[in-house]
Structure 1
Amino acid sequence: MTTTPLTTLALRRAAAAALGKLEGTVTAPVARALTAGGAVLTIASAFLSWTWTADFPGDLTVNGYPGGLQWLTVTAGLLLLLQSLSAHGVRGLGGLGPHGHTIALRRLALGALATSWFTLGAIAVELGGLANLTAGGWVAAFAVLPALYGALALPADQHAATPADALPAWRERLQVTAIAAFGLFLFTYAIETSYGELFEGFLITLGFGAAAHLKSGLFERTSALLTRQRPFAMAAAFAAAALFPLTQSDDHNANVGVNILIFATVALGLNIVVGLTGLLDLGYVAFLGVGAYTAALISGSAYSPFHHAEVPFWAAALIGAGVSMIFGVLIGAPTLRLRGDYLAIVTIGFGEIFHLTVQNLDGTSGPNITNGPNGIPNIPDISLFGFSLGTAHTIGSFTIGRFANYFFLMLLVTLIVIAVFSRAGNSRIGRAWIAIREDETAAEAMGINGFRTKLTAFALGAALAGLAGTVSAHVTYTVVPNPYVFAGSTPPNSAFLLAAVVLGGMGTVSGPLLGASLLYLIPEKLEFLQNYQLLAFGVALILLMRFRPEGIVANRRRQLEFHQADLPEQAGPADTITLTKAGA
């Protein structure tokens, strides 16, 4: 059944009328009291026992101390309480949102409800029914309802968020340091979650909290603060990332961090082609494979036909990036005169050609160069200035393992790629890329050489992917053809890379980094998604296109294009997670 504009308008009026009736059922002071009281009850309920058996992960049988998912309920209730006090005009909390702004309050109330009910539902599913809930579990089920009712009963005032006044430099830098530390805490908590239910609950709490504070204008004020303190913010972000391996006692988590950086760096290179220039490249992962195979062939592996020609890593990195750039030029030169779907089809073909070629260079179907499906194993660890990255090192009380060493190296590579992306995007060639993305015909009419400009983007993106591939070959010890396909079960592949750029936010620096982190970490933590990853990501992209088509971290230009109707309300939180222009 199709809905006409009149039908849609009638439905909206009916919903507004129903909400208006609810808002008028209680007075504002009573609604405020219900909201704050419900938040306090939600926090208190987490200090009760929710189940009688310790078979559920996290041990929720203890009275007086939260455990596992109960801590997320405490967090959701605390966020709700603080937002409630801020919305009611309590001094000192105005930074969370303007006085009287209840949209964020409602979202946090829904988040507290979703977090607690998810935990109770997980207990029922894991243990076999609601009979496994104790009295504390039932208290938790209903504790948040007064807060939700009070938040819905408050008038839906939508005051515009006023920009925060500039503070003294030392206070702003202290706030930036706190933001960087909070980001490190969130990432560390997510990567250390020991079971799927805890990670799912974390995503629920984080999602509702982010949606609420995006609406309250907190991200907009944070973005303005980071813009004013751009150099210090970049240094703080780098320091927080460098501290991550020192917080890990499990080398597996450092390995996950390394792979996230590799995935994110390649996605950022693809962002030059897709986000800035508007070229749909569906075979981009092949350039990562070119860099990885180049490094594997010349780094001294006994299974390489060129194992006698071993070169140091810095030379292998330059050669891998250069060979990938040459492939980018060779592939782009005959194909970049195509546009749209035709270009996408050709790039898919290039990706498949690369995958089949490295499989057939096994000495049987072709020359023995890549060892076919078996790949090139036993790639030696990188040694820089006599320092082997494959050996654990002790610094004081900290032990820096193999993957921690590679994390630091990959962090430097990521900074190089960010610097290249930022400088290129803000340069004359970057403005030409954006002009071609917006309208290639108009750009050429203004004197821009469209073919040469697109070829430059293609070659630069390929070189950045090849640079990351040289590190990836040493991290994994083995280079095989399986990952370098359009769509596969594990990242990185072209579909995952494209999804990371679109999900995070095209044309930004922090968007692909965030999108790649989510797309790598979620399948790593949620094992049941491993066989349904493409389905899950497809659903996520559909929802994203419906509710936030500009991506999680929005480029201001694209955000204005997608939200012209509600411009005053949505134009604020562009590039909210970190700085786009600063490259953080």
Structure 2
Amino acid sequence: MTTQTTAPQTPQTTDTGKHAGLIGIPAHLGRALATAGGALTIVSTFLAWTWTDEFPGDLTVYGYPGGLQVLVLIGGILTTLLALASYGVRGLGWLTPAGADSALKLAALGTFGTAWYTVIAISSELGGVVNLEPGGYVVAVGTLAAVLGSLALPFTWPDPDPIDPEDTPQEQLRHQLRTTGEILKASIATGTTPPARKLPAYAEILIIVAALAVGLTVFTYGIGTEYDELFVGFLITAGFGFAAVAKAGLVSRVSAVTAKHRNVTMIGAFVAAAAFPFTQSDDQYATIGVYILIFATVALGLNIVVGLAGLLDLGYVAFLGVGAYTAAMVSGSPSSPFDVHLPFWASALLGAAVAMVFGVIIGAPTLRLRGDYLAIVTLGFGEIFRITVLNMDGTSGPDITNGSNGISSIPNLNILGFDFGAEHSIAGFTIARFANYFLLMLLITLVVVVVFRRSSDSRIGRAWVAIREDETAAEAMGINGFRVKLIAFALGAALAGLAGTVQAHVTYTVTPEQYQFAHVVPPNSAFLLAAVVLGGMGTISGPLVGAALLYLIPAKLQFLGDYQLFAFGLALVLLMRFRPEGLIPNRRRQLEFHEEAEPPTVLSKAGA
């Protein structure tokens, strides 16, 4: 008996240039069009886009990009590089280990969005397209050409024959290797990349330094955007740019390098963060920086409870308030009922300890609950804390917290003669009050990161993960679920209380409305939970990035007025739709979200 076999399907790569994409243009013409469009976009940024400097950013200068032109220039360079990489240009393969075609689409769309947003904004604010100079028309045509060219590239490869589960492992492996398209598709879906040529250690460290430098530059630029149009363009460029390099596999490749040198990465990250205040000419943006660090540190503490132990805590911001109120009462404030002025190290330890005690008191009777019931109880605790400090005004209860007036006039910190409220000159740079507190909060963040990392790698950390995955199975294996969860709750509360001690001195005043479940200004419990989920549960860098975005975006979208929350919510919905595992997910969650994903539909014609 003979078995009829068919030749294995080969991937519809675009190397032959014969396959059509979404718009029916041959792939080789689309690639050429995308490359030409990217190059034309770069040229356009050195031309004037409008004749008047009434539009912010002064886009009237020839030969020197400014304002939104800089963002379009970056997008044009990325688009051109990816277009050249899709040709197989030597030296660019390391940047696109998962393929350049899909990444090219995202880069071209992002550049198109920023450019056309600018052109439309100029026409709208200045009174018509007559206010455009030749550069404005050139960038519109160039970015449109790049988008059309990228859409001409095939979207995916044909699905290979399914693997027979009865085959031996060798036969299954041979079947998988019949087509490189399947390997690349799996790489893109799971965030992994094909193996790269091994680099020497010094080269990998240089890659880490370059990645951190890019991160610091992007963060500094995003905070320092001086007008609304520039921030919107920054969001478009940064969002699509990150998506493009992630789709190309570069993010996964760099992540593998950083995971290999974890200590170098952590030290380098904090050195880069410490350099941030020295990049600022005044204290305006350092103010945003210190609040982002407070928000991020508390989110990282919540990540222990939610990300590692899997406990849904909706009242976590109350522990931040416990630490803040404790520090305010013992730091010499004239509004405090206690005539005590402890040094900072003592007030910080006391705030963390009191928050930990509250965590144990609240957790002991409630942690036997699971899921939604636990979430409701913790939400109630957050409201009980806020109402309690509101009623301790001497009328409705004992005079301890001054009720709605809070504890005010909290003095600036003075540690070993270093006054955090005064300006200081370091290496020729002048840093002011908020920059001083930024550096202090950075040290607190370092402590929290070390605690999180050591805890997650320990035996108790593995027990948390086991409880999160299946509490019944974990208890059957001998893990004391209640004790393990209580430790997570207490440790998370202590870290939040530690951050609260710094927040009290930064804000000068602590009041009950700062610690609501959904306050207008973060941190609050809703935003903290969103930062953990958005950034990536169970990771270190995820909540830090998520908290930075969730604090920065609402602060910069105030020009939208009543539509601010709508735009913010829409952005979150879209992000979680296309990146449900978070911006920087851990390996387990990434596989959980993609292991059962349906194969994408082939949009290119199979015989074109």
2:517, 2:525 within 8 Å by CA — same for their partners in 1? Answer: yes
Give the match for residue 68 of structure 2. 69
* Aligned match for 2:276, one of 244, 247, 252: 244
1:489, 1:533 within 8 Å by CA — same for their partners in 2? Answer: no
Q: Give distance in 1, aligned partners of 2:83 and 2:552.
A: 32
2:319, 2:496 within 8 Å by CA — same for their partners in 1? Answer: yes
1:528 aligns with 2:559: yes
1:337, 1:451 within 8 Å by CA — same for their partners in 2? Answer: yes
1:485 aligns with 2:484: no
Give the match for residue 330 of structure 1. 361
2:50, 2:60 within 8 Å by CA — same for their partners in 1? Answer: yes
- Taking a change above 3 Å as real, the CA distance of residues 530 and 459 of structure 1, as seen in their structure-2 partners, is farther
* Aligned match for 1:263, one of 295, 319, 323: 295
Distance apart, 1:152 and its partner CA? 2.2
Post-superposition Cα deviations, 1:103-152, rounded to whole Å, max 9, x if no partner, equal 11111111121111111122233234434333332222111222222222
| Residues 156-171 of structure 1 aligned to structure 2 (within 5 Å) | 156=155, 160=184, 161-171=193-203
2:332, 2:340 within 8 Å by CA — same for their partners in 1? Answer: yes
Post-superposition Cα deviations, 1:509-550, rounded to whole Å, max 9, x if no partner, equal 111100000011111222135655554443334323322211
Give the match for residue 126 of structure 1. 125
Runs of 5+ unmatched residues, structure 2: 1-17, 158-180, 185-192, 601-608
Distance apart, 1:568 and its partner CA? 11
1:365 aligns with 2:382: no
| Residues 303-318 of structure 1 aligned to structure 2 (within 5 Å) | 303-306=335-338, 308-318=339-349
1:102, 1:157 within 8 Å by CA — same for their partners in 2? Answer: no
Instruction: After superposing the two structures, state which structure 1 stretch, 105-114 or 487-496, moved more.
Output: 105-114
- Taking a change above 3 Å as real, the CA distance of residues 126 and 524 of structure 1, as seen in their structure-2 partners, is same
Give the match for residue 573 of structure 1. none
- Taking a change above 3 Å as real, the CA distance of residues 416 and 568 of structure 1, as seen in their structure-2 partners, is farther
1:277, 1:454 within 8 Å by CA — same for their partners in 2? Answer: yes
Give the match for residue 116 of structure 1. 115
1:412 aligns with 2:411: no
Instruction: After superposing the two structures, state which structure 1 stretch, 137-146 or 210-219, moved more.
Output: 137-146
Distance apart, 1:99 and its partner CA? 8.7
Q: Give distance in 1, aligned partners of 2:312 and 2:147.
A: 44
The alignment's TM-score, normalised by the length of structure 2, stands at 0.87
Give the match for residue 184 of structure 1. 216
Q: Give distance in 2, aligned partners of 1:108 and 1:311.
A: 54
Instruction: After superposing the two structures, state which structure 1 stretch, 219-228 or 465-474, moved more.
Output: 219-228
Q: Give the superposed CA RMSD.
A: 2.0
* Aligned match for 1:542, one of 573, 577, 580: 573
Q: Give distance in 2, aligned partners of 1:567 and 1:30.
A: 31
* Aligned match for 1:476, one of 507, 527, 540: 507
Helix, strand or coil at the partner of 1:483: helix
Q: 2:248 corresponds to which letter in structure 1?
A: S
- Taking a change above 3 Å as real, the CA distance of residues 100 and 344 of structure 1, as seen in their structure-2 partners, is closer
2:53, 2:59 within 8 Å by CA — same for their partners in 1? Answer: yes
- Taking a change above 3 Å as real, the CA distance of residues 466 and 567 of structure 1, as seen in their structure-2 partners, is farther
| Residues 214-229 of structure 1 aligned to structure 2 (within 5 Å) | 214-229=246-261
- Taking a change above 3 Å as real, the CA distance of residues 513 and 98 of structure 1, as seen in their structure-2 partners, is closer
1:153 aligns with 2:149: no
Post-superposition Cα deviations, 1:378-418, rounded to whole Å, max 9, x if no partner, equal 11111112222122111232112111111111111001101
Q: Give distance in 1, aligned partners of 2:499 and 2:322.
A: 10
Distance apart, 1:32 and its partner CA? 2.8
Q: Give distance in 2, aligned partners of 1:163 and 1:534.
A: 43
Identity of aligned residues (%): 65
Helix, strand or coil at the partner of 1:144: helix
- Taking a change above 3 Å as real, the CA distance of residues 187 and 344 of structure 1, as seen in their structure-2 partners, is same
Helix, strand or coil at the partner of 1:61: coil
Instruction: After superposing the two structures, state which structure 1 stretch, 223-232 or 241-250, moved more.
Output: 223-232
Q: Give distance in 2, aligned partners of 1:63 and 1:314.
A: 56
Q: Give distance in 1, aligned partners of 2:279 and 2:233.
A: 22
- Taking a change above 3 Å as real, the CA distance of residues 534 and 333 of structure 1, as seen in their structure-2 partners, is farther
* Aligned match for 1:197, one of 204, 229, 234: 229
Give the match for residue 588 of structure 2. 557
Q: 2:337 corresponds to which letter in structure 1?
A: P
Q: Give distance in 2, aligned partners of 1:170 and 1:451.
A: 46
| Residues 333-344 of structure 1 aligned to structure 2 (within 5 Å) | 333-344=364-375
Give the match for residue 205 of structure 2. 173
The alignment's TM-score, normalised by the length of structure 1, stands at 0.90
2:333, 2:411 within 8 Å by CA — same for their partners in 1? Answer: yes
Runs of 5+ unmatched residues, structure 1: 1-18, 570-584
Aligned pair count?
550
1:213 aligns with 2:245: yes
| Residues 562-577 of structure 1 aligned to structure 2 (within 5 Å) | 562-566=593-597
Give the match for residue 38 of structure 2. 39
- Taking a change above 3 Å as real, the CA distance of residues 464 and 143 of structure 1, as seen in their structure-2 partners, is same
2:99, 2:248 within 8 Å by CA — same for their partners in 1? Answer: no
Q: Give distance in 1, aligned partners of 2:318 and 2:543.
A: 18
- Taking a change above 3 Å as real, the CA distance of residues 399 and 225 of structure 1, as seen in their structure-2 partners, is same
Q: Give distance in 1, aligned partners of 2:599 and 2:587.
A: 13
- Taking a change above 3 Å as real, the CA distance of residues 175 and 545 of structure 1, as seen in their structure-2 partners, is closer
Post-superposition Cα deviations, 1:432-479, rounded to whole Å, max 9, x if no partner, equal 111111111221222211111111111111000000000000111111
Q: Give distance in 1, aligned partners of 2:273 and 2:20.
A: 49
